[in-house]
A and B are shown apart, each in its own frame.
Chain A
Amino acid sequence: MSDKRKLRSRKVSERMAVVDEADRRRVIQARLAALEQDNHKEDDFGAGSDDEYELPAASGSDAEEGPTSGRKKKKVKVGGGMRKTRGMIEAKAKGPKVFRDFLEEAELERLPEGEPSYLTAAVGPPRTAAPRKFCSVCGDLSSYTCTRCGSRYCSRRCHAVHTETRCLKFMA
Chain B
Amino acid sequence: MALQDVVVMDVGGGSVKMGSARQADTPKVFPNASAKLKGERQTFVGEAMLGMKDVLALSLRRPVDRGYVVDWSLQREILARALKGLLGGLSASSCGLVLTEPYLNLPALREAAVRMALDELGFASIYMAPPAALALRWHAQQMPGLPANAAGCGLVVDAGFSFTHAVPVFDWRVLPAAIRRIDLGGKALTNFMKELVSYRSVNMMDETYLLEHIKEQLCFVSQDTAADLRAARGRASPFRREYVLPDGLADTWGHVRTAEEAAAAAAAAQQQQRQGGPQLPKQPVLMVNNERFMVPEALFRPTDIGMEEAGLAEAIAAAVQAAHPHLHGLLWSNVLLTGGTARCPGFRERLFAELRPLVPDDYELAIYLADDPVLCAWRGAALLAASPSYPRLAVTRQEWRSRGTAALAKWEQ
Which residues of A pack against B, CB within 8 Å? 28, 31-32, 34-41, 48, 96-99, 101-103, 105-106, 108, 114, 116-118, 120-132, 134, 137-141, 165-166
A99 to B229, CA, bound (A): 37
Asked if A39 contacts B70 (CB within 8 A), the reply is no
Enumerate chain A residues within 8 angstroms of B318, measured Cβ to Cβ. 123-124
**Which of B17-25, B253-261, B308-316 touches A?**
B308-316
**B interface secondary structure, majority:** mixed
Enumerate chain A residues within 8 angstroms of B192, measured Cβ to Cβ. 35
Partner of A126, one of B58, B67, B314: B314
Asked if A106 contacts B108 (CB within 8 A), the reply is yes
Asked if B229 contacts A140 (CB within 8 A), the reply is yes
Partner of B191, one of A36, A41, A106, A132: A36
Instruction: Judge whether B176 is part of the interface by a CB distance below 8 angstroms.
Output: yes
Instruction: Judge whether B348 is part of the interface by a CB distance below 8 angstroms.
Output: no
> Residue on B with the closest CB to A115?
B177
**A interface secondary structure, majority:** loop
Tell me how many residue pairs across A and B have CB atoms closer than 8 Å.
140
Enumerate chain A residues within 8 angstroms of B84, measured Cβ to Cβ. none
A166 to B196, CA, bound (A): 13
A137 to B196, CA, bound (A): 9
Closest CB of chain B to A28's CB: distance in Å? Answer: 4
A40 to B181, CA, bound (A): 27
Sample of 17 more A-B contacts, CB < 8 Å, known A125-B310, A131-B301: A35-B187, A36-B191, A39-B205, A39-B208, A96-B70, A121-B104, A121-B180, A121-B181, A123-B181, A124-B318, A129-B303, A134-B294, A134-B304, A139-B229, A139-B294, A140-B290, A166-B199
Instruction: Judge whether B121 is part of the interface by a CB distance below 8 angstroms.
Output: no
A30 to B344, CA, bound (A): 27
Asked if B68 contacts A102 (CB within 8 A), the reply is yes
Which residues of B pack against A, CB within 8 Å? 41, 43, 58-62, 65-68, 70-71, 103-104, 106-109, 165, 176-177, 179-183, 187-188, 191-192, 195-196, 199-200, 205-206, 208, 226, 229, 232-233, 289-291, 294, 301-311, 314-315, 318, 358
Asked if B70 contacts A102 (CB within 8 A), the reply is yes
Partner of B70, one of A97, A114, A130, A138: A97
A32 to B303, CA, bound (A): 11
Closest CB of chain A to B226's CB: distance in Å? Answer: 7
Enumerate chain A residues within 8 angstroms of B191, measured Cβ to Cβ. 34-37
A–B complex contacts, Cβ < 8 Å, 11 sampled: A102-B68, A102-B106, A114-B177, A125-B310, A126-B302, A126-B308, A129-B311, A132-B301, A140-B233, A141-B229, A166-B199
Partner of B306, one of A32, A40, A123: A32
Asked if B301 contacts A120 (CB within 8 A), the reply is no
Asked if A102 contacts B109 (CB within 8 A), the reply is yes
A128 to B321, CA, bound (A): 15
Enumerate chain B residues within 8 angstroms of A108, measured Cβ to Cβ. 106
> Residue on A with the closest CB to B174?
A116
